[in-house]
Amino acid sequence: MATAKTGSQSGQNWNPNLGAAELSSLIGTLGKIEQQMPYLVGLSRGERRKLPKVGPLTRSFVADAVTTAQANPGLLPRSIDISSLRSRADTLDRLGEVRRAVSQFLEKVDDTEVLLASEVYAAARTVYAVMKTPAAVPGLKDRQDRLAQRFARKKGSRKAEEPLAVKPVE
C-alpha cells in the first residue's frame, strides 16, 4: 500500500488515474467483501434512533458483563446462551476493527477526491479565463456562455466567484 502523503500532491509525482476496468474491479472487490459478511444489515434512521446508543463506556460494560457471565454461568437464566453471547461480543469487537480500517480508507478516498476536484476545478477556471480573451478560438461563444453560468450572480446572493485572471497573449 502506498504511504500516506500530506499537503498538496500536485506535481509530476501525483497523477491519479482510475480507469473503467480498475473501477469495475474495485466495485467487484467491495461486493466480495460484502458477501463475506452476509450478516450486515441496513437500518433506517428511525430504526437507529430506537436502539440504545453503545459507546466506549457501554462496550466496556458489555465486556465486563460477558466475562462475569462466563465465570458464573449459574447466575443467568438458561435461556441465555453464554457461548453465543461471547461470540456476539467478540464479533462486535472485530466489527469495530473493520469499521476503523474502512473509515481510514474512506477518509483517504474523500481526501483524494477533494484534492483532485480542487485541481481539476482550478484548471477548468483557467480554461474559462482563456476563453474570455481575444486570443480565444472563434466559434466557442456558446461554450463560453455555458461556462459563464457558473459565475453568474443569483438574486439575493453576494458577489459571484471570480475566475482566474489570464492576461491576453500579445
Is the distance from CB of 130 to CB of 167 less than 8 angstroms? no
Please give the Cα distance from 129 to 113 (Å, whole number).
24
What pLDDT score was predicted for residue 117?
96
Question: CB burial class (10 A; 0-12, 13-18, 19+) of residue 124?
Answer: middle
Write the pLDDT tens digit of every residue in 17-51. Answer: 999 999 999 999 999 999 999 999 999 999 999 99
Residue bearing the bigger pLDDT, 165 or 7: 165
First to last CA, the chain: 48
Please give the Cα distance from 3 to 22 (Å, whole number).
20
User: Has residue 61 got a pLDDT over 80?
Assistant: yes
User: Has residue 132 got a pLDDT over 50?
Assistant: yes
What pLDDT score was predicted for residue 2?
46
Please give the Cα distance from 131 to 104 (Å, whole number).
41
What pLDDT score was predicted for residue 138?
74
Mean confidence (pLDDT) of the chain: 86
Closest CA to 85 of 73, 97, 74, 98: 73
- Find the mean pLDDT for residues 58-82: 94
- Find the mean pLDDT for residues 128-141: 76
User: Has residue 160 got a pLDDT over 60?
Assistant: no
Please give the Cα distance from 144 to 151 (Å, whole number).
11
Prediction pTM value: 0.71
Residue 11 identity: G
Q: Give kind and range of the element (H or E) at residue 67.
A: helix 56-71
Tally the residues of the chain.
Answer: 170
- Find the mean pLDDT for residues 100-117: 97
Q: Give kind and range of the element (H or E) at residue 110.
A: helix 82-131
Of the chain, the percentage scoring pLDDT greater than 70 comes to 82
| pLDDT confidence band for 1 (50 / 70 / 90) | very low
For residue 118 the three cell numbers come to 480542487
Of the chain, the percentage scoring pLDDT greater than 90 comes to 62
